[in-house]
Structure formats: C-alpha cells, structure tokens
Amino acid sequence: MDWLSRLSRRRRDDEITEEIESHLRMAIQDRMERGEEAEQARLAAQREFGNVALVTDATRRIWTSTTVETFLQDVRFGSHILWHSPGLSATAIILVALVIGGNTTIYSMVHGLLTSPASGVTAERLVCIGQISPDSSRFGPFTSYPNYLDYAAQSTTVRQLAAWLDERLTIGVGDGNYAVSGAPVTVGFFETFGVRIVKGRAFRDEDDRLEHAGLVAVISDRLWRERLENAADVVGRTIVINGRAATVVGVATPRFQGANLTPGEDVWLPITAFHEAVGSRKILSDRRQASILIAGQLAPGVSLRQAQSEFAALSAQLRAAYPDDNKDRRAVVFDYSVTAFLPGKPRVGRSGREQSRRRRGRPGPDRRDANDDVAARHRDRARAHGCDVVDVFRRRVAGRRSARPVRHHHLQHATAYARFRHPPGAGRVIAASPARSRSGGVSTHRDRSPDWFRSQRGRGCHFQARPVRGCANGSPHLHRRLHAAGGGGGAGILSARLARGPGECYRGVEAGMTHRLFRAQRRHRVEARRAPRRPDAGRHRHHDEERSD
C-alpha cells in the first residue's frame, strides 16, 4: 500500500539522520575527551565527517529506486507549475488540443479527397483497370479501346465495364459558343457509376450508332442551368458540339461533374457515335492508342484479387495475340476513387501485411492453399507407388529466383515436400522433370519408369525422389523417425512445384526438384568439372541409379 511504503520510507530516512547525528555526537565527545574545546571539537568532527546532507542522501539512495523517485519528482514539479500558473496551463492544453485537432482534420480531409468517389457517383465496389509495366515500375491509367472491348467481352469478375476519355469540346448553345470539358463515354457509363439522370434518360445501345439517331448528348446540371437557362424542354433540344448537331437526351444529377478529377465535365456523348461524327473513328480501332479510361463494378462475391488475377490472365492473352501492340503492358485492377487515375503507382489491393509476407517469402493464405494442393498430390503419388507417406513436413514458397531456368520470371512457385517410406523392392523414383524445361515451369509430368529416368539423365533431367540422407531438411529427428518407420525399406523425399501464373492463376503442376537440390547438383557438377577425375568418380551417381531400380 502506498501510505505504508511512504511511512516506512520516512521512518528509514529519520533513522539515517539519527544515525549520522549519533556518529557526529560520538566524534565530538571523543575529541572533547582528548582535550579539545567543545566548539573546536564540533567543527573538527563536522569537517572530518564531510557533507552531512550528501552522506544522508547517498545512504538513503541505497534503499530507494532513484529512477522512480526522479520521475515522481518531475511529475510533482510539473503539476506544481501547472497548478500555480493556470494561464500557462490553459494555453498549453489549448495549443496541444489545437495541434491534434488540426492535424486530424487535415488528415481526414486529404484522406477523404484521395479515397472518396467523385461527387454524384453512388455505385459501390467500383474498380479501375490501368496498365502497368511487367516490373511494376511504370503505371499508366489509359488502355486502348480494342483492349477494352476484349476485356468487356471476356471478363467475368468485373461487370458493366465502362470506358471514357476526357475531351475539350466546343459547344454552341443559343447565342454563343463555349469551350467546355466533356467525355465520350460508353453506353453503360452512367449505370456503371450509379449516376442519376434527373431529366430525360441515359444512353441506350442505339445511341452509339450515328446512323440510327444522329449524335445525342447528356449534359450536366450546371450547363443546363447556366447556358440553357433551366429550360424545361431541354430534353430533345439540339445543341452544337464541335460543329455537329447533337440532341440532348438527358441531364445528369447536379453533383456529377465527371468520374475522375477533372475541371468539371459538362457534356457526355456516346463514344463511337462521337468519333464517327468528328471523323476520328480510327482512334477506336488502334490497339496501340492507349487513351481511354476503364472502370467497372466487381461482380457479387468477387474479390479485388480475383479480378486482378483474371485481368492479368486476359492481358497475357492479349499480349500473346498482339505482341507488338501490347508490348510491356499488363492490366492492373485497383480500387476506384476520384484520384485513382492520377499519376503514381496504384495500390493493387495487397495489404501491408501481405506485401511484407511476400517480401519475406512466407506464404499468405492463398499460397498455403496452393501448398496444400501440392501436398495432397504428393500423398496420392507416393501412395500410388506403394509408399507410406509419413506426412508433409515442409512447405515453402520459392521466389522468382528459382534455380530452374524459368522463362516467365513473374511466376512464383509454391513448393511442398512430403516424406515417405517405401517397402523393399518398391520403385524409388517417383517423379522427375527436365531441368532445362522450356515450358516456364508449367508442364505436368506423369510418373515415369526408372528406364525413362536413366534415358533422361543425359538430357539434364534431375530425379526428385532420393534417400532422405542429405535431403533439404537435415533434421536428425526426422532421420530417426523415417528410419524407424522404414521397416526394411527406405525413406525418401518428394517435392513438387506449383507454378503460378501472373495474377495467381495456377496453371499447372510440375513435378520437379527443389531448388536447393538443384543447386547442390549444379555445384557438384561444377566441382566435378574442376576437379581431376578420380577412379571412384561417379560412384554416387551409379549408386543412385541402382537404388532407383
């Protein structure tokens, strides 16, 4: 209890003071007995003793924790100042409150500006599709219109894909011509963003065919009020856009001035009809011309990551189909906000924790799933060969720097190992894979016979199953367990690699060796090349072959 400890401390302080006083009294008495005068004896004793306060303090500190005491003293001193200077205290508190409040407000405003959707946009789960270089160093928000059409036709994860591009337009209304910002948009643009049309209607499919109804336009509430004087019959009225007559079919909600951060759009036109009208139809058929912005809504139950995977695969297909037009471009899906299309790298939906995990090479939940898949295949394969799988003992993820020459460097490999024991006489080699695979690590190999392995050895094929001694996991405990479980057979290690394509599309399972084993064998080859050939060289290899038989 606090009061008890305080009482005890005070009593100890009093004792120390009394002890020192007693020391001085005895010293004085001694001196007086030796013939010194009382005053002289007192002064001499005090001189000999030294600084009484200092000695008292040093002795007292033996019993107390000075750090706590100093802190408490500081607190006492600080509260004393604050209590006795209310003006200063109030000023300090108000200043601190103002600084905290100001910072919070500024942060909230900036955060709101950066992450909120454009005014008038009511749709949820909106995402944007941009393009990024394979090494993620360059980001561009624009895509070509033909690519947009392909994405719109094939995507299942993002629905109602809308495209638009910002244009400066000249609009002729009544008495004069005005320069305004506008946007040729795809037909479902307003539905995609959930923008309400307060007068008239949004675009229909037939509006995008110039020959059907001529050029039509949806205008902003601002344009309607300022240039068309709130005309009640605005819908159906004809205005002139870039010298072409256009019929107003709708007026957008007052707050909507474009889906991205622009000076404020006032006119929206069907994209194909507009370009046909102004004679720039070519821009819509040129796959190299990345000039349009794309956004859409995530389909129900679809995550951003799934959409990213799909678009990565779609863009890979486009790259394969049109290599010249889509060189160094990869589609990237990211969350929509009014500032989403501004220059800078978009957040592609990975949390900081996930990014950190990836940097450390530890698998996230999705990779764990992948590893589990590989592990299950191991078990099945080993059992099919009469092996008794002990368990899957190690799971890890190899990064891009796989020892295997992988052409698609963006592939990442989930690797799992299974340990097993096999009965005497059972085939030991379970799976193999050519080390110099040109397939980029996406081919699937069935189990082969030992003869096949022998024939492949000269072609750089590396066996996967091998005696547990010297395996990647060199735990003595594991060895003991495996040998104990062996029962006259042997123990082995089995690994497989799951290649993952861009955007986490698992494109195939490859039975291969671990990179560590590969490194070891490569080192062995290098050393063998350097070292003079010994008479017993190659014994180990033959031994392996014999065992595999």
Partner 1 sequence: MRAKGGYKNRIELLQGTLDLIILQTLQWGPQHGYRISQAIVAGSRELFQVDTGSLYPALHRLEKRRWIKSEWRISDNNQRAKYYRLTAEGRKQLASERSRWAQFVEAMAALMKPGEHEVS
Minimum CB separation of residue 29 from partner 1 in Å reads 6
Told to check if 18 binds partner 1 by CB under 8 A, we report: yes
Q: Which is nearer to partner 1, 54 or 320 (CB)?
A: 54
Q: Which is nearer to partner 1, 41 or 121 (CB)?
A: 41
Minimum CB separation of residue 69 from partner 1 in Å reads 16
133: burial class by Cβ within 10 Å (0-12, 13-18, 19+)?
Answer: middle
Minimum CB separation of residue 2 from partner 1 in Å reads 21
H or E segment to which residue 30 belongs = helix 2-33
Contact assessment for residue 435 and residue 460, using Cβ atoms and an 8 Å cutoff: yes
Minimum CB separation of residue 64 from partner 1 in Å reads 11
Minimum CB separation of residue 21 from partner 1 in Å reads 10
Assigned token pair, 64: 């107390």
Per DSSP, the three-state class of 56 is: helix
Told to check if 55 binds partner 1 by CB under 8 A, we report: yes
Amino acid at 481: R
Q: Is the dihedral of CA 519, 522, 523, 524 positive or negative?
A: positive
Query: Could you give the count of Cα atoms lying within 13 Å of 181 in the half-sphere of its Cβ?
Result: 14
Q: Nearest CA to 397 among 410, 414, 379?
A: 414
- Site mask for partner 1 (CB under 8 A), range 21-50, x = bound: -xx-xxx-x----x-x-----------xxx
Beta-bridge partners for 173: 176
Q: Which is nearer to partner 1, 22 or 105 (CB)?
A: 22
Q: How far apart are CA 534 and CA 528, in angstroms?
A: 10
Q: Which is nearer to partner 1, 12 or 457 (CB)?
A: 12
Minimum CB separation of residue 476 from partner 1 in Å reads 43
Told to check if 71 binds partner 1 by CB under 8 A, we report: no
By CB under 8 A, name the one of 14, 15, 37, 206 that touches partner 1: 15
Minimum CB separation of residue 38 from partner 1 in Å reads 15
> Which are the contacts of 119, defined by CB distance < 8 A and separation ≥ 6?
255, 256, 257, 338
Q: Which is nearer to partner 1, 11 or 80 (CB)?
A: 11
By CB under 8 A, name the one of 51, 70, 116, 285 that touches partner 1: 51
Assigned token pair, 421: 């024991």
255: burial class by Cβ within 10 Å (0-12, 13-18, 19+)?
Answer: middle
Q: Which is nearer to partner 1, 20 or 390 (CB)?
A: 20
Told to check if 65 binds partner 1 by CB under 8 A, we report: no
Q: Which is nearer to partner 1, 21 or 74 (CB)?
A: 21
Minimum CB separation of residue 14 from partner 1 in Å reads 12
H or E segment to which residue 326 belongs = none
Size of the site for partner 1 (CB under 8 A): 24
Told to check if 178 binds partner 1 by CB under 8 A, we report: no
Buried-state track 31-44, b at ≥16 Cβ within 10 A, e below 16: beeeebeeeebbee
- Which long-range contacts link 50-57 to residues 24+ away (Cβ below 8 Å)? 52/20, 52/24, 55/20, 56/16, 56/17, 56/20
Please give the distance of CA 501 from its chain centroid, rounded to a whole number. Answer: 17
The DSSP output letter for 533 is P
Q: Which is nearer to partner 1, 9 or 237 (CB)?
A: 9
By CB under 8 A, name the one of 6, 63, 74, 154 that touches partner 1: 63
Q: Which is nearer to partner 1, 19 or 205 (CB)?
A: 19
Minimum CB separation of residue 484 from partner 1 in Å reads 51
Q: How far apart are CA 326 and CA 287, in angstroms?
A: 8
Q: Which is nearer to partner 1, 33 or 324 (CB)?
A: 33
Told to check if 20 binds partner 1 by CB under 8 A, we report: yes
Q: Which is nearer to partner 1, 14 or 451 (CB)?
A: 14
Q: How far apart are CA 481 and CA 478, in angstroms?
A: 5
Told to check if 69 binds partner 1 by CB under 8 A, we report: no
Q: Which is nearer to partner 1, 63 or 178 (CB)?
A: 63
By CB under 8 A, name the one of 7, 10, 38, 58 that touches partner 1: 58
The DSSP output letter for 403 is S
Minimum CB separation of residue 44 from partner 1 in Å reads 9
CA of 299: how far to CAs of 127, 159, 195, in Å? 11, 6, 18
Torsions phi, psi of 430, nearest 5?
Answer: -105, -40
Minimum CB separation of residue 22 from partner 1 in Å reads 5
Told to check if 19 binds partner 1 by CB under 8 A, we report: yes
By CB under 8 A, name the one of 17, 59, 247, 456 that touches partner 1: 59
Buried-state track 271-283, b at ≥16 Cβ within 10 A, e below 16: bbbbbbbbeeeeb
Minimum CB separation of residue 466 from partner 1 in Å reads 59
Told to check if 68 binds partner 1 by CB under 8 A, we report: no
Torsions phi, psi of 454, nearest 5?
Answer: -60, -40
Minimum CB separation of residue 19 from partner 1 in Å reads 5
The contact set with partner 1 (CB under 8 A) reads 15-16, 18-20, 22-23, 25-27, 29, 34, 36, 48-51, 54-55, 58-59, 61-63
